[in-house]
Structure 1
Amino acid sequence: MTATARLHEPTTTPAPEGIGPGDDGWRLPARAFLRRIGHRGPVTPTADSLRALTTATLRAVPYEMLDALEGRPTSLHHPDVFAKLVHRRQGGTCLETTPLLGRFLREAGFPVRLVAAQIWRVKGGWAPRWDHLILLVEADGAEWVVDAGFFMMTALEPLPTDGAEHTHDGWTHRVATADGHRAVLRRTPGGDWIPVYRFAERHLETADCTWVVDYHMAAADSPLTANLLCSRVIPGGKLILMRKNFIRAENGRENIDFLATERAAEKAIAEIFHGHDGKLAERALRLWNRTRGKRAGKLPGIG
Structure 2
Amino acid sequence: MMPFDLHAYLARIGFTGATQPTLTTLQQLHHAHVCSIPFENIDVLLNRPVHLETEAIQEKLVTARRGGYCYEHNALFLLALQQMGFDARGLAARVVIAQPPSVPPRTHMLLLVPLAESFWIADVGFGGPTLSAPIRLVADEIQRTPHGEYQLQSLGEEWLLRQRRGGEWLPLYRFDLVTQFPSDYLMANHFVSTWPHSHFRHHLLAARYLPDGGQLALENRRFSRYGAQAERRSLDDLRALYQLLQTEFGLGMKHSLYGVAEEEFISMMARLDTAV
Alignment TM-score, normalising by the size of structure 2 = 0.85
Decide whether the 8 Å contact of 1:172 with 1:186 is kept in 2.
Answer: yes
**Residue of structure 1 equivalent to 2:268:** 287
In structure 1, C-alpha distance between the alignment counterparts of 2:227 and 2:18, rounded to whole Å: 28
**Residue of structure 2 equivalent to 1:147:** 123
Q: 1:216 to 1:266 in 2, by over 3 A?
A: same
Question: What letter corresponds to residue 52 of structure 1 in structure 2?
Answer: Q
**Unpaired segments ≥5 residues, structure 2:** none
In structure 2, C-alpha distance between the alignment counterparts of 1:280 and 1:102, rounded to whole Å: 27
**Residue of structure 2 equivalent to 1:167:** 144
Q: 1:141 to 1:32 in 2, by over 3 A?
A: same
Q: Given the alignment of the two structures, is residue 183 of structure 1 paired with residue 164 of structure 2, yes or no?
A: no
Decide whether the 8 Å contact of 1:112 with 1:137 is kept in 2.
Answer: yes
Q: Which moved more, 1:63-72 or 1:210-219?
A: 210-219
Decide whether the 8 Å contact of 2:30 with 2:124 is kept in 1.
Answer: yes
Question: What letter corresponds to residue 288 of structure 1 in structure 2?
Answer: M
Decide whether the 8 Å contact of 2:208 with 2:215 is kept in 1.
Answer: yes
Decide whether the 8 Å contact of 1:65 with 1:92 is kept in 2.
Answer: yes
Structure of greater relative contact order (alpha carbons < 8 Å, 6+ residues apart): 1
In structure 2, C-alpha distance between the alignment counterparts of 1:168 and 1:218, rounded to whole Å: 33
Among the aligned pairs, what percent are the same residue? 26
Q: Given the alignment of the two structures, is residue 33 of structure 1 paired with residue 14 of structure 2, yes or no?
A: no
Deviation >6 Å, runs of 4+? none
Alpha-carbon distance, 1:213 to partner: 2.9
Counting only pairs closer than 5 Å after superposition, residues 195-274 of structure 1 correspond to structure 2 as 195-235=171-211, 236-250=213-227, 257-262=233-238, 265-266=241-242, 268-274=244-250
User: Superposition RMSD on alpha carbons, in Å?
Assistant: 2.8
Deviations 1:109-142 (A, max 9, x none): 1111200011123466677221010001122432
Paired residue secondary structure (1:131)? strand
Decide whether the 8 Å contact of 1:241 with 1:268 is kept in 2.
Answer: no
**Unpaired segments ≥5 residues, structure 1:** 1-24, 296-303
* Aligned pairs, number: 269
**Residue of structure 2 equivalent to 1:79:** 55
Decide whether the 8 Å contact of 1:273 with 1:280 is kept in 2.
Answer: no
Alpha-carbon distance, 1:168 to partner: 3.0
Alignment TM-score, normalising by the size of structure 1 = 0.78
